[in-house]
Amino acid sequence: MSEHSPRRAVILLSGGLDSATAGAVARRDGFELYALTVRYGQRHAAELDAAAKVAEALGVRRHVTVPVDLSVIGGSALTGGIDVPKNRSTEARDAEIPVTYVPARNTILLSLALGYAEVLEAADIFIGANAVDYSGYPDCRKAFLDAFALLANVATKAAVEGRLSFRIHAPLLELTKARIIRLGTELGVDYGLTHSCYDPLEDGTACGRCDACLLRRGGFAKAGLTDPISYAVAGE
């Protein structure tokens, strides 16, 4: 890159509400965006379609999709034959790490983003991880993200040679879902393009009952805004 080129950043783009907002934050902060989506064997393709739409709306310079089939490993309701929990209370969601946790997913996704960033000579990686209104995943916590940043700077040629010092940005980490939605709305995110549901219908319609749908719907309600997507089950 020339001295006057915009800073490059890799954004992990799932097609969900959080990653779309994180991408909008990176755009606001002046980064030239390179999006990476992973087809990891998830039980539906709706989020991959959403990721392509969000990438276009964000004006990313390049969007790549990498296939890594985690369904071969299994161990998650998102990649195997385990039922997705429905209609759970907030207390039930907070009680334990749910079966929708995908073993090592964010470690794998960030590793792919790190490789892409090293090739692009981009020191900055954005992820939409959230440790407040989330489903209890251990790889959405600050401790994990800090540890990965340390790994990135001892495991790459660019860092060891002193050419890059990698930074992991999680701008939504300490925000409630309502605050995330307000922030994204201020930044012009079209949430009608996003997909959050863990168990959508065949046509991609959100179920309205899984943990992700309940968190999303609750976030829009608390933000005082209308969720632009449709649900198979109407809210109460």
pLDDT 10s digits, 111-130: 999 999 999 999 999 999 99
* Interatomic CA distance for residues 96 and 83, integer angstroms: 16
- Range in 1-15, 56-70, 74-88, 213-227 with the lowest mean pLDDT: 1-15
pLDDT number for residue 2 = 45
Q: Is the pLDDT of residue 134 over 70?
A: no
pTM of the model: 0.94
> Domain 8-223 carries which CATH code?
3.40.50.620
pLDDT number for residue 186 = 98
